[in-house]
Amino acid sequence: AKADGRGTKRFFEVEMDVSLRARRALEIDLREALEREEFELHYQPIYDFRGRRIGGFEALVRWRHPVRGLVPPAEFIAVAEEIGLIVPLGAWCLTTACTEAMRWPDGIKVAVNVSAVQFRDEIIVESVRAALAKSRLPPGRLELEITESVLLKDNLATLATLYALRRLGVRIAMDDFGTGYSSLSYLRSFPFDKIKIDQSFVRDITSKTDSGLIVRAVIGLGLSLGMRTTGEGIETQEQFDRLRCEGCDEGQGYFFAKPGPARDVPRMIERWSSAGTG
């Protein structure tokens, strides 16, 4: 058994070497991807329950890799953050999203995800200012989605950055609400325009769990704080009906559409304009 142990150790060493090399290769590949214009944005509609129409789209980045095909953000955002690429990549996402949104019907908003790394040193303020100037998109049509990781430090610099963004006229949404451990205190520190209820709560909303009660409570919280609420990850008619009944403002999920390329945007708007949804 002891001899086996040695063998196993060597095996792991080789494994680690392989994964380390794969990781290096990914980093090099990723750095070049921006210059090679291999990134693209897909858009997922956000449905306005009261207006019964699409009110906006969330921009979700993809990497069109020449060999690996379409790579989802889960496989490269964290690495992009570690190697600092998220700053130029994030700026590219902002400018591209604003420019593409200029081609959409008037009033349709665009939401862009922003990483905590982009928040350091107020880099984000300049990126947003530049994207708005270059695209000429009215600031009120741009929404930034931030997660609790941005607010983890909860320091004055972060708050100052959020207020600087607010002064530019853009809206700010708290993404994945309820997945962190101190979500509530963040709502007290900054007046978000919107709370996005994480899909893990929406998934179980119709089953006999506490999720339904939590969703109801968050919608009530939004109402009393003057923040809009969006239910994420709606996949079924039952989830749609339930969220609408509870007074949620907006819904998003595969029930409406999966994220698609920019050319699909007009079709998605058309599909959900005064459509029969029960």
Contacting residues toward ligand C2E, per CB under 6 A? 44, 60-61, 72-74, 77, 93, 113-115, 145, 175-176, 199, 233-235, 253-254, 259
Q: Among 227, 147, 229, which Cα is nearest to 181's? A: 147
Helix or strand (DSSP H, E) at 275: none
SS (H, E, C) 175-223: EEECCCCCHHHHHHHCCCCEEEECHHHHHCCCCCCCHHHHHHHHHHHHH
250 binds Ca ion (CB under 5 A): no
Q: Residue 183 binds what, of Ca ion, ligand C2E, none (CB under 5 to 8 Å, by partner type)?
A: none
Largest CA distance in the chain: 71
In degrees, rounded to 5, the angle at the alpha carbon of residue 63 between the alpha carbons of residues 236 and 58 is 40
Question: Rounded CA gap, 155 and 52, in Å?
Answer: 39
Which residue, judged by CB position, is nearest to Ca ion in the bound state? 145
Q: Residue 235 binds what, of ligand C2E, Ca ion, none (CB under 5 to 8 Å, by partner type)?
A: ligand C2E
Q: Residue 87 binds what, of ligand C2E, Ca ion, none (CB under 5 to 8 Å, by partner type)?
A: none
Q: Residue 115 binds what, of Ca ion, ligand C2E, none (CB under 5 to 8 Å, by partner type)?
A: ligand C2E
Q: Residue 48 binds what, of ligand C2E, Ca ion, none (CB under 5 to 8 Å, by partner type)?
A: none
Closer Cβ to ligand C2E, 145 or 250, answer by number: 145
Min. distance of Cβ 145 from Ca ion in angstroms? 4
Residues 6 or more apart whose CB falls under 8 angstroms from that of 51 comprise none
Tokens linked to 108: 């349709």
Min. distance of Cβ 67 from Ca ion in angstroms? 27
Min. distance of Cβ 260 from ligand C2E in angstroms? 10
Q: Among 160, 163, 139, 150, which Cα is nearest to 113's? A: 150
Closer Cβ to ligand C2E, 61 or 268, answer by number: 61
Closer Cβ to ligand C2E, 55 or 259, answer by number: 259
Which letter does DSSP use for residue 249 in this model? S
Q: Give the interface segment with Ca ion, choosing from 34-42, 141-149, 164-172, 185-193 (CB under 5 A).
A: 141-149
Q: Residue 55 binds what, of Ca ion, ligand C2E, none (CB under 5 to 8 Å, by partner type)?
A: none
Helix or strand (DSSP H, E) at 27: helix 2-35
Instruction: Indicate which single residue of 95, 96, 113, 252 sits in contact with Ca ion (rule: CB under 5 A).
Output: 113
Q: Are 88 and 117 in contact (CB under 8 A)?
A: no
Tokens linked to 270: 């058309």
Min. distance of Cβ 217 from ligand C2E in angstroms? 20
Residues forming contacts to Ca ion in the complex (CB under 5 A) are 113, 145, 175-176, 232
